[in-house]
Amino acid sequence: MQWQFISTVELHDAEPGKRGHIYHAPLWRTQVPGGWLVMTVNGRSTDPQPSLTFLPDPEHQWHVEVHSDSHHSE
């Protein structure tokens, strides 16, 4: 399986009226039949585990600009 780095997303974790946290979560994707698996890892966790979701895209039309060093095989 070849994972492709998409970007890093800035996430804000705060309750209304309270000071929160800002952290960055990397997003990766890999092509699978019928769409994409999208993965992120919560770096703020004491036990970071990847989170996966399936994005339906039967024609694989989701195009992103990637750099040559943005692939990771597993």
Q: pTM of the full predicted structure?
A: 0.70
35 Rama sector, left if φ>0, alpha if ψ -120 to 50, beta otherwise: left
CA distance 44 to 53: 19
Q: Could you tell me the strand order of the sheet in which 35-41 lies?
A: 50-56, 35-41, 21-32, 2-13, 71-73
User: What's residue 69's pLDDT?
Assistant: 53
CA distance 30 to 36: 6
Band of residue 1 on the pLDDT scale cut at 50, 70, 90: confident
DSSP H/E element including 4: strand 2-13
